[in-house]
Structure 1
Amino acid sequence: MVDPDTFFHDNVTGPRSGKDEDEAKFGIGQKVKLIKEIVNDGTYPHSPIGTLMMPKDSIGYIKSVGEFLQVIRVYEVHFLGVEEAPVEIVGCRENELEAMEDYKDEVEEELEWMRKHREKYYSKD
């Protein structure tokens, strides 16, 4: 049972009520920093609502990018070595994260290299 005096944290609709931008702000593998603490809003069943899930200024890496209700982008972030957190992987919104490095799309870089190689190879004919 939930304590009636428990403050419900609404990270989903609180800071933003509309659809997220079409393009994701962060990419898979990118290093990010948490700019505000993450508390359990009820979506994590193994801790009470209001439990600190990840402290502010924690450093992690984007593991995957998904959607909630088809309009809210959620980043699965893997935080390493944070002893005071009950979990290592937390779902975060864009407004809760800050990039610690520029994103490099390694797949796109490889495809570009292959395109240039083919142009060089086929232009000799």
Structure 2
Amino acid sequence: MKLHTHLKKTFLVGCALLANTFLSPAALAAGDEYSFKVKNTTKELITKILVSEDGEKYGFFDIGKGIKPGESMTLVWNKDTNGQSCTQWFKAVWESGEEGKPVKFNFCEKGLEIEF
């Protein structure tokens, strides 16, 4: 059952990223999807963005080759996650393998920009 839940969450995150890649920003803004920006304020490449509703079991956003130092990336939640809490735990993983401390954010907040 845990594997099924993990696969479902991974699938949902993947769908969100595909929507972000193939749909125009105007089309995304027209729906009920939630988006947020992640900015890398460090000197090291961010290779993973981890997210958790309960702060214990983490899924991830596929951010391709990563977020370079000084750059930002907009991430969009899939509509299938709309039933989840707006408050989620969030952390970054850098190229060195270092994992940041989890930080709680309200993803329903408009214009949310998270900096690492």
- TM bin (shorter chain): under 0.3
Normalised TM-score (structure 2) = 0.22
Flag the structure with higher helix content.
2
Higher relative contact order (CA 8 A, sep 6+): 2
Larger Rg: 1
